[in-house]
Amino acid sequence: MLASYRWRRRLMWLTGTSAVAAGAVVVALQWPNTAPKEPPVSTIPLHIDYRPPKAVKLKLHDRAMALGVASKFIFTAVARKNIDRSWTLVAPEFRAGLTRRQWDTGNIPVVPYPVGQARWKLEYSDVEGVGFQMGLFPPKGVHQRPQVFLIGLHQLKSGTEGQWVVDSWQSAPIRSSQAAGGSGGGNVVEQASPQLSGGSKARESAAWLLLPVGLLSLIVVLPLGIGGVNWYRGRRAQAKAGV
């Protein structure tokens, strides 16, 4: 190949081209980068210092007041009956962006439910407010499953002293069978509120229990009464006979 003039010429061109390419690569690698450097990403970890509100014991008076407001809210805003009466039952931030007229139309951020009865269970009580689990049951003839909701309330710091208002209302992630007192654990209707519908039914059930108790008591009282009457008559007969 070296004896051929043509091949020697080709080798010279290949050698020169390779040398130029190698030089260009070296220059590109060694040329300083003039682009502005990006600021280094901060590696400081973010610490979110969240502390849950301090739990407090709910007083009986406050519980009664809060449940009273919850009852009115459920049977107005939730049941979509006399919605205008629920305007003063909710916190200002709950109805933010709505006027009184818009609220009264029923297009409100409250999940509706055809309420027939309602029962409650205390969920939490802290310095910021209280929360209840509400088991709602439809009226007779309405084919809808019972459902559990979570309601939150707090006391207003200004205005009427001690006034409770609703600040949240949402569906609870609990099966309807539990709300209805099914066999599944964690029944949320362990307590019946005297402020809510369903208390009269509980009193009626207690009255029916008195009937079998009364019948059973007659088994003991009736023989004693008959024996007492017979003893009294015997004593009177002996007194008349001078015995």
Task: Identify any residues that bridge with 131 across adjacent strands, giving them in sequence order.
Answer: 124, 152
How far apart CA 18 and CA 198 sit, in angstroms, is 96
Residue 165 has pLDDT above 60, yes or no: yes
Q: pTM of whole model > 0.75?
A: no
How far apart CA 168 and CA 64 sit, in angstroms, is 18
> 196-218 pLDDT, tens per residue?
544 444 444 455 455 565 666 66
How far apart CA 224 and CA 226 sit, in angstroms, is 6
Pairing assessment for the beta strands 117-126 and 147-155 based on DSSP bridges: unpaired
Residue-level pLDDT at 230: 73
Residue-level pLDDT at 26: 65
pLDDT band at 189 (very low <50, low <70, confident <90, very high): very low
Side chain identity at 203, as an amino acid letter? Answer: R
Lookup: tokens for 196: 């809510």
How far apart CA 70 and CA 51 sit, in angstroms, is 27
Q: What are phi and psi of 232, to 5 degrees?
A: -65, -45
Residue 163 has pLDDT above 70, yes or no: yes
Residue-level pLDDT at 195: 45
Lookup: tokens for 27: 């220059």
Lowest mean pLDDT among 43-57, 64-78, 104-118: 43-57
By residue count, the chain amounts to 243
Per-residue DSSP letter, 198? T
Closest CA to 65 of 155, 199, 170, 128: 155
Residue-level pLDDT at 203: 46
How far apart CA 83 and CA 73 sit, in angstroms, is 9
Average pLDDT of the chain is 76
More confident residue, 18 or 57: 57
Residue-level pLDDT at 239: 73
The dihedral sign for the CA sequence 171, 174, 180, 181: negative
The domain made up of 60-202 has a fold known as: Nuclear Transport Factor 2; Chain: A, (3.10.450)
Residue 159 has pLDDT above 70, yes or no: no
Residue-level pLDDT at 21: 73
Residue 136 has pLDDT above 50, yes or no: yes
For the ranges 10-24, 33-47, 73-87, the one whose mean pLDDT is highest: 73-87
Lowest mean pLDDT among 14-18, 78-82, 171-175, 190-194: 190-194
Residue 174 neighbours by CB under 8 Å, 6+ apart: 133, 148, 186, 188
Residue-level pLDDT at 190: 39
More confident residue, 125 or 189: 125
Whole-number percent of the chain with pLDDT over 90 = 42
Average pLDDT over residues 101-126: 93
